[in-house]
Amino acid sequence: MEFLDSIKQTYKRSLDFTGRTGRSEFWWFALFTLIGGIVTSVADVMILGYVSEDWGPLNIIFSIITTLPGLAVGARRLHDINRSGWWQLITLTIIGVILLIIWWATIGESKKNPHGPT
């Protein structure tokens, strides 16, 4: 899946926490949110004059726009390796983030699982 196709697909399914998502869609959207966060932070500092330690309005808006689709694509990515999307709650712990990154990078099951076909 290409970069722009991934972002379009993720936003189309932004309220869909069912089904499965491949690694490429997930990681392209993660790259989009990283780049978007950096760009909006720089814009807040350079254009709007906010201090870099503060959350500026552009960064807050971008975060709001990407949070729900990010959670949905993360849940679908976990479904692809036959795990519940609720596992994302372990991001509340430091060690949980590491475990989630490993799971998100794992190759999905090639056969049908309880969350749907490939």
Q: What is the pLDDT of residues 64-107, one digit of tens each?
A: 999 999 999 999 999 999 999 999 999 999 899 999 999 999 99
Q: Backbone phi, then psi, for 116, in 5-degree steps?
A: 125, 180
Q: DSSP for 26-46?
A: HHHHHHHHHHHHHHHHHHHHH
Taking the C-alpha atoms of residue 72 and residue 111, their distance in angstroms, rounded to an integer, is 22
Q: What is the pLDDT of residues 12-68, one digit of tens each?
A: 999 999 999 999 999 999 999 999 999 999 999 999 888 877 889 999 999 999 999
CA torsion sign, 47 to 48 to 53 to 54? negative
The pTM for the full model equals 0.90
Taking the C-alpha atoms of residue 70 and residue 33, their distance in angstroms, rounded to an integer, is 8
